[in-house]
Chain A
Amino acid sequence: MIGKFFRKMTGATQSPPRVSGMEVFWSWLGSFLGIAAVAYLNDGFLEKTDLVLIIGSFGASAVLIYGAIKSPLAQPRNLLGGHILSACIGVSAWKLLFVHPWLAAALAVSVSIAAMHLTKTLHPPGGATALIAVIGGPKIHQLGYLYIVMPVAAGALIMLAVALVVNNLAPTRRYPEYWY
């Protein structure tokens, strides 16, 4: 029993192969352009407003939609669904439980993961999107449910548009694998 328990910790297989240099290049280009788009719009137009267009979880999304584009986690359904659903849950958690921030944070992330599972929209950065709604500070809290539309939905859509262009320009790439 105990032996088996510890044996399971030793691993069972090897790490997948490294991708080619071209693949690295396209991952770099896509993520550069995707993050550049949201960051540039954020800095250029929203600097002096209360609005934001970029949040930390987009960096994680970039890994998936420009770097692991075949993954089910990286498909448009997951990108948009995961972010938007988690944003709703994150904002609600903050509004209902802001007196216990630790509980709001834990529930925001855990309920988001469960909801993404149930809706087949699992997208790891969604967990961060939910968490940011709770721990993102006054500027994020002020947005209230607007957080779902902007930055979350708007930013995710811009990044998706860049992913569709860049990933399909690459001769060895195709994106998405599926929409729904």
Chain B
Amino acid sequence: MGNEEDDRVKRGSTAGVELKEEDIMAAMQEIHGYLDITPGDFKQIYILAYQHALERLSRELTAAEIMTRKVISVTADTPLAEVAEAMGKRGVSGVPVVDDQGRVVGVISEKDFLRSMGVKDSQNFMTLVASCLRSKGCVALPIKKQAAGDLMSTPAVTVTPEARMRDMAELFTQRRINRAPVTDKEGRLVGIVTRGDLIRATLQGARP
């Protein structure tokens, strides 16, 4: 056993789960037949294998590998009608808002529309339908004259091209977002990662 290996085993970093020899003895007794291995050897194999698994998992795909590159974007002064049209045509529920140099300044999504249309509680389509049916006229009227810049969520939650899948999943959950623009060092838009991209990439990663 090399010194480096020795140290790794001594540290026994198995993400907070310390495997005791008595656990190994108990497990060995559950397996029928004579196992030609000592509990010490098993523990060593377990710890090293666990670290290999961690390394494999941490070498996950990055935002750059899973993002959608052809992403439509709008500018802050794009009229909302155009924004809605573009989103409808492309079948997306959110688009990044960029300035004239392509830097991401915000994101505008269905939720932003719903919020500004007076849907207070849960921002989904059915809440909108309900409030529409209760009021006279279209609930979109109050925002007719507005532009993307008025509604967008800003600053945008963006990720770098190197962002790892696990971190992005955590970010999406914590911030309750469904997409994050991918930006380069200058903050310019290079792509977008959606929940769909994450799910697709998870399936690909699961295949051997």
Give A contacts to B, CB under 8 Å. 12-17, 19-20, 23, 27, 67-74, 172-173
Contact = CB atoms under 8 A, between A and B. Distances in A.
B40 interface: yes
Contact of B36 (A13, A20, A68, A172): A68
Contacts of A173: 32-33
B39 A20 contact: no
B38 interface: yes
A12 B40 contact: yes
Contact of B32 (A13, A68, A73, A172): A172
A91 to B, nearest CB: 29
Interface of B: 21, 25, 28-29, 32-41, 43
A70 B38 contact: no
B25 A20 contact: no
Nearest to A64: B36
B30 to A, nearest CB: 10
Contacts of B36: 68, 70-74
Nearest to A173: B33
B65 to A, nearest CB: 37
5 contacts: A15-B38, A16-B34, A16-B37, A27-B34, A74-B36
Nearest to B37: A16
A19 B33 contact: yes
B33 A23 contact: yes
Contact of A69 (B25, B33, B39, B41): B33
Contact of A172 (B25, B29, B33, B37): B33
Contacts of A67: 34
Contact of A20 (B21, B32, B37): B32
B33 A14 contact: no
A103 B178 CA distance: 76
Contacts of A68: 34, 36
Contacts of B34: 16, 19, 23, 27, 67-71
B33 A13 contact: no
Contacts of A70: 33-36
Contacts of B37: 16
A127 B40 CA distance: 27
A14 B32 contact: no
Given A12-B40, A23-B34, A70-B35, 5 more contacts: A13-B41, A14-B40, A19-B34, A23-B32, A69-B34
Contacts of B33: 19, 23, 69-70, 172-173
Residue picked from B21, B34, B35, most chain A C-beta under 10 Å: B34
Contact of B21 (A13, A23, A27, A69): A13
Contacts of B25: 14, 16-17
B133 to A, nearest CB: 67
B203 to A, nearest CB: 32
A16 B21 contact: no
B111 to A, nearest CB: 56
A14 B43 CA distance: 12
A100 to B, nearest CB: 36
A68 B32 CA distance: 11
Nearest to B25: A17
Nearest to A27: B34
